[in-house]
Structure 1
Amino acid sequence: MPALFFQQQLVITKHSVQPFNAKTILLFDAQFLNVDEFNLDALLSPFELTVFTRRKSNKAKQEYLATRLLLKYLVKQTMPQFRELASNHISSEFDEQSSKLLLHITGSNTVLSSCLSHSNGFVGAALNHECIQFGFDIEKISTKRPFIKLAKHFYHLDEVNLIRQNPERFFRIWTLKEALAKATSQPIAKLLSPNVFNQLMLSKLTAVSCQYKEFDVSVVSNQSTDWQCSVVNSIDQLRSVLHF
């Protein structure tokens, strides 16, 4: 059964504005984003600006800005009633009670659940309109890490044995655990030692995964097969919708 989880079933395509699927995870390489080129006051809410300014490294600022632009783009593309809303009237704020990143829209009672992931400058963002159990994770594959040593320390023995056969499986197992943690609102520390494949079965959740360039991507949901990934090649693809 675990062999199914190592198949490359997740579809990743280049982004196009139309047609647009609400169950889309937008992916973007933020490392070339020049944050100084943007009018941040017009794009980020006052709360987001406060969080952004607390980010110390340029990489952290790039990832934060990129994920927020992707989320606001998704709101405008999937909810036509907010298409003309100023981007700084959409605010992303983490909710401790639900362990979810929620989007609040000025002048509206609408609150949207979302999910983010980032690894080494590569970021992903998605909305969860239906508030289903859903989570995804991105992790850069590094062949220099001590796979077996790490796996022995953190993972289930059955998972360690799978990694012995193929070291890159370490990252597939990791993204599955992270995605499951987000889908079920559990801390990742609680899901490190249990067998993730058994946990997925017990949770009655499905998972699809793939490798994209040097990254492993996994999606966990009770409707995982409905989700797709779309790569934004340039932030300019968002310009006409976000008006920057």
Structure 2
Amino acid sequence: MELLLSGFTHALYLLFSGEKDVYTITLLTLKVSFTAVMISSFIGLPLGGVLGLTSFSGRRFLLVLVNIGMGLPPVVAGLWITMLLWRSGPLGDYSLLFTPPAIICAQVLVSLPIIIGLTCSAFQKLDSQILLHLKALGATRSQAFLILLKEAKIGILAAIIAGFGRIMAEVGAAMMVGGNIQGDTRILTTSIVMEVSKGNFEVALALSFILMILSFTITFFLTFLQQGKETR
């Protein structure tokens, strides 16, 4: 208990003392996390809508792949991204390995299946009569999709929350593709692992409290948005 209290006190000190390294790590964490969840949502919402609303050959196989991807171990995702970005890899000429974009790629890979799968589930739960009514009214595909998107907004926001949670908790892939370089690719999760390996449990606890505060604040906002819209 004393160690937890000391870690929480140290977290407050780091937040309000103007510690440059802590602010750099925190801002980079927010930057890569928001970028990754936006990319995953931009790709995942339409794909989830297609899988949830249409029927075509190979759909079940794609759903199996999505469900497998939802449980993809982060270190596997990190390995795949590393192989792609390695100097001798397909994307090695772009020199992206051990940079923030590499971390974003890994985070997208682990969160995208979650957003696709939960979005698909949200669309599948819609009343089938809604689509028939939209067709009868002559709505175009884009108009129908936007209306259905609004109808499924509760489940879709849940998908985004789950994807964001996976991103914020990710450490293995970020460590592998980012290298945990100070001032460049060091984020909160990788910093916690590093401090634990050095035996600095007080600093690790402080960083963990900062991470939890960020996660709680952002998740609270998204949940408030989700439930607020539900009651209207």
Same fold per superposition (TM over 0.5) = no
TM interval, short-chain normalised? under 0.3
Higher strand share: 1
| Greater helix content | 2
* TM, length-normalised to structure 1: 0.26
The TM-score with structure 2 as length reference comes to: 0.27
